[in-house]
Amino acid sequence: MESVSPHPPLQEGLTSKVEGKTFSFRSTSSYKINPLACAYCAKCHSICPTYLPTKNEGYSARGKILLWSALKGNFDSIVEDQPSLSTSLIAESDKLLDYLDFCTRCYRCLDVCPAGMATVPIFEEMRFELAKVRAPELPLRLLMRVILPNRWLTRLLCAVTELPFSIAPFLAKRLKLPVQVNKWLYSLPKYETLFSSLTSGFPTIYVANREFAIPSSQLRRAQAIQFTQKFQKINEKNRAESAPTVILFGDCLSDIYYPGIYYSEAKLLNRLGYRVLLNSNFTCCGASALNTGDERAFVTMARKFVRQIAALHQKNKNATSKILFSNPTCFKTVKERYREFLTERELDLIPEPTLDVEFILPKLKSARFSAVGSPLSQIPMAWHNPCGLAYALGVKGNSIVSELKELGLNIKEFTQAEGCCGFGGMFHIRYPSRAMELSTEKLRFWKEQGIELVLTNSCGCISHLN
């Protein structure tokens, strides 16, 4: 393996072209990675979902930087990767760790920062620095270094967790779907209904007054993967053997809770004339390790991901130069953060990361797809714009809503499309009460507006809101 500086300067941004149409995304390369750039204006206070309910300066972006400055005396170790000057103080700082953890990493502070600071990446650098003298807790290290890098092990643990609810499904609580949603769902072809996440009713269970989502059954997961890999039917214009091919990345949460997404997205791409390659054993992209400050786990996941992509290309010589991501956080992690840790040779092995929204929506319009006249067009919908899309990538909800309206969906425009739902990676696990408050605000508003179906492209948001 080539040696590489762990944090080389960030490269150019996330602008990509999809068949002539350019989609511009916000990139950290356009922002200052230097914490000394903070103007201390406190503009981040007015939008921070963790500062607003607490009024604790340490939970704001400015407060985190101020506290780190007080402990370090300077920022040399972040800016130039020099040895720490006061590691004992940092190691003993439970408060700093609490301030860093109590953050949804929504990127909204970056969105409003007049100094143009890359706030969330700076926080991640702080976590990495802190982990050098104070490693993440053992359960987190096991999760990031052993379980998530191995999809088979993740599925094994999920299968054990889910088994009692397959044997006795009445043990789980399920959502009752609105009449119009049910009508549309069961008007779909058999297997599209079978693999839809809506069909299961999002099973959950209460433990110690907290509600937990239950993983999908291993049988359903195996069926979805089998049908995705073996039973693709390309439209008449493109026979399967000559159709252009895209690689579909299945993120961890989709695999755990909604593996039917694989089938549904593959069928949609088939109808648009594309063949889909799916490696059902993809490792976690590493976004979870960034969230917990485990730099070692992140680099391990990133390099394993690269090896898997390279192996997929070797087996499929006609493989495309694009890999589709449903989750904007995974997309940004691979598209941008890998550049900070991997060599050029490794980066060359990765097809162009592409967000499926930017890839599919223009093709649906060019294919003149319309929901008008179907039961789907009668369902009152809203769009929840996940933070990874709205603030990390800079794609606002109104632009997505206008695209969806053009497809004939009965989707309402609300300013509440933006704003964190409380998922925040590990945030909803560490701080369930605050996460619940954030989701309740959105759910109550949608209910008052008569919304029956909410669309989003983040599996984490789907799990948390349900």
Alpha-carbon Rg for the chain in angstroms: 22
Return the closest-CA partner of residue 337 out of 313, 321, 353: 353
pLDDT (tens digit, 9 = 90+) per residue, 413-425? 887 778 899 998 8
What is the percent of the chain where pLDDT is above 70? 87
**Element (DSSP H or E) covering residue 460:** helix 459-465
pLDDT tens for 3-33 read: 333 444 333 344 444 454 546 788 877 788 7
Q: Check residue 232 and give its pLDDT.
A: 77
Look at residue 372 in the predicted model and tell me its pLDDT: 87
Q: Is the pLDDT of residue 158 over 70?
A: yes
Give 102-142 pLDDT, tens digit per residue.
999 999 999 899 988 888 888 888 888 888 777 888 998 99
Q: What does pTM read for this prediction?
A: 0.87
Residue 185 main-chain phi, psi, to 5 deg: -60, -45
Amino acid letter, residue 52: L
What pLDDT, in 10s, does the model give residues 55-83? 998 899 998 888 777 766 554 444 444 44
| Chain CA centroid to CA 443, Å | 20
Which residues are CB-contacts of 264 (< 8 A; sequence separation ≥ 6)?
A: 192, 195, 196
**CB distance 75 to 36 below 8 Å:** yes
For the stretch 315-337, pLDDT in tens is: 776 667 789 998 999 999 999 88
Measured CA to CA, the distance from residue 420 to residue 390 in angstroms comes to 10
What is the rounded distance in angstroms from the CA atom of residue 189 to the CA atom of residue 431? 41
For residue 258, the model assigns a pLDDT of 92
- Give the pLDDT confidence score for residue 4 in this predicted structure: 38
CA distance 155 to 217: 10
> Is the pLDDT higher at 48 or at 239?
48
Q: By 3-state DSSP, what share of the chain in percent is helix, strand and coil, each rounded to 5?
A: 50, 10, 40
150-159, 249-258, 365-374, range with the lowest pLDDT: 365-374
Structure tokens belonging to residue 179: 């009449």
Give the model's pLDDT for residue 403: 86
Q: How confident is the model at residue 145 (pLDDT cuts 50, 70, 90)?
A: very high
Span of 90-104, 151-165, 300-314, 342-356 with lowest mean pLDDT: 90-104
